[in-house]
Structure 1
Amino acid sequence: MTDEIRQIFVDKHNDIRSIVARGLAKDKDGGNAPKAANMLKVSYDCEVEENMMEWLRQCKWAHSSYKGRNGWGQNLYMVDARNLNKTRMAEQSVEAWFSELANHGVPHDNKLTWKVFEHGVGHYSQLVWHNSNKIGCGVMWCEKMTFVGCEYNPTGNYLGALIYEIGEPCTKCNCKGCTCNKEEGLCVVP
């Protein structure tokens, strides 16, 4: 992984989290997903990356075990082509995860239930899970595919929980020493 690709993953995550937090993300019904009161800005974590890369190096198109990823969340993406541009794959993977909102939607109460999860929004919900603020990602060239993944610390996708709290951006950051980036609508952890 290069610093350029790491930064692309962080920027894409934060761009999308900002769009969602400010209520500008289109859902499948043609409206917008609700604004987020407690969306944290993500930062990069090389320890999380190393764990993700360890899994990607195995070139198995499946999620690693919950224990194997230290209880962290995980999003995967794959294209049946080898040696694709890693920078473009970083962008494309995050965009694909975000597209689940427009393709499948989430309920107006923003609660992740099993029924909602089964409709194919698990990548989206992990991408914008309010307190998943440390990411580590990777792109691996495998024999039959280009394999991409990100892990999230702390994990998200708790069934029965809110993906994020609905409200005006940054009004419920609830983290010690947090500040608000008003332009992005994201809570910034010190």
Structure 2
Amino acid sequence: MLTTISVKNWLMEKLKMLKEICQLEKNIYKFSYNKNKEYIAQKTANICKMEHPGTVGYGENLYANSWAMDNLTEAMLGAANGWWGEKDVCPINENNLKVTDKVFDKCGHWVPMAWSHTTEIFCGVQLCPPQFWCSNWKPPCYNTTLISCNYYNPTNDAGNILIYEKGQRCRKDSDCTWYKNSKCEIKTGLCLAPKDAKDPKIK
């Protein structure tokens, strides 16, 4: 299981990355790390395969390194940097921020990290045996570290919604429109979803 320090450092790194875009976003939601749901991501990591199990209701990013990482913080930051690095090849621009199949193909791990409607994140990590993709390397990989992170809500409805919206941060509750009964945290300009918030795009 992840330690408090590794989680904190990972979240700090994600926040630092988000500063690249969040100053230009509107309707952006505050997110938190849900340690009580880590077991969901841990189940995926324990399988030790770079395969999505289809966790219903959550988006998911997977990351694996070809060596054993005893430092959980290093492993988590490696995943965050790898996922966010896809932004450099992402086929988007200021006038086209839609989630399309082409975007998912090029930067499908970056999208949920930048997703303005994310309210919840939780992760799992597992030391695994060699994987097929590095078994023939010279020298071969003897261990791998696999990380799984889940996001609520998932980036669905490809082609019809934006990764984030350009504009100013919220100043009043009516500026927060994705989740019903959302509130504006005026001091941060971030939207707060109610605890029982349901993604309006998930039927």
TM-score tier, shorter chain, comes to: 0.7 to 0.9
Uncovered stretches (5+) of structure 2, i.e. residues with no partner:
131-143, 195-203
Residue 115 of structure 1: CA displacement? Answer: 2.1
Residue 80 of structure 1: CA displacement? Answer: 0.9
Uncovered stretches (5+) of structure 1, i.e. residues with no partner:
23-34
Instruction: Please give the TM-score of this superposition, normalised by the length of structure 1.
Output: 0.80
Partner of residue 28, structure 1: none
Alpha-carbon distance in 1 for matches of 2:19, 2:170: 11
Paired residue type of 1:167: G
Does the aligned pair in 1 maintain the 2:64–2:145 contact within 8 Å?
Answer: yes
Partner of residue 168, structure 2: 168
Does the aligned pair in 1 maintain the 2:170–2:184 contact within 8 Å?
Answer: no
Partner of residue 32, structure 1: none
Q: In the alignment, is residue 57 of structure 1 matched against residue 46 of structure 2?
A: yes
Alpha-carbon distance in 2 for matches of 1:109, 1:170: 22
Number of aligned positions between the proteins: 172
Write out the 4+ residue segments of structure 1 that deviate beyond 6 Å after TM superposition: none
Residue 83 of structure 1: CA displacement? Answer: 3.3
Partner of residue 43, structure 1: 32
* Percent identity between the two aligned chains: 28
Question: 1:109-150 CA deviation, whole Å, 9 max, x = no partner?
Answer: 2101112222x1111111111111100012211122111121
Residue 105 of structure 1: CA displacement? Answer: 4.1
Does the aligned pair in 2 maintain the 1:36–1:170 contact within 8 Å?
Answer: no
Residue 53 of structure 1: CA displacement? Answer: 0.4
Residue 158 of structure 1: CA displacement? Answer: 3.2
Alpha-carbon distance in 1 for matches of 2:62, 2:156: 14
Instruction: Please give the TM-score of this superposition, normalised by the length of structure 2.
Output: 0.75
Does the aligned pair in 2 maintain the 1:48–1:152 contact within 8 Å?
Answer: no
After superposition, the Cα gap between the structure-2 partners of 1:97 and 1:158, relative to the gap in structure 1 and judged at 3 Å, is farther
Partner of residue 87, structure 1: 73
Alpha-carbon distance in 1 for matches of 2:70, 2:52: 21
Of residues 92, 102, 112 in structure 1, which corresponds to 2:99?
Answer: 112
Residue 52 of structure 1: CA displacement? Answer: 0.2
After TM superposition, the structure 1 = structure 2 runs for residues 98-177 of structure 1, keeping only pairs within 5 Å, are: 98-107=84-93, 108-118=95-105, 120-144=106-130, 145-160=144-159, 161-170=161-170, 172-174=175-177, 176-177=182-183
After superposition, the Cα gap between the structure-2 partners of 1:187 and 1:8, relative to the gap in structure 1 and judged at 3 Å, is farther
Alpha-carbon distance in 1 for matches of 2:62, 2:154: 14
Greater mean deviation of Cα atoms: 72-81 or 7-16: 7-16
Does the aligned pair in 2 maintain the 1:52–1:149 contact within 8 Å?
Answer: yes
> Is the radius of gyration larger for structure 1 or structure 2?
2
Partner of residue 30, structure 1: none
After TM superposition, the structure 1 = structure 2 runs for residues 12-31 of structure 1, keeping only pairs within 5 Å, are: 12-22=13-23
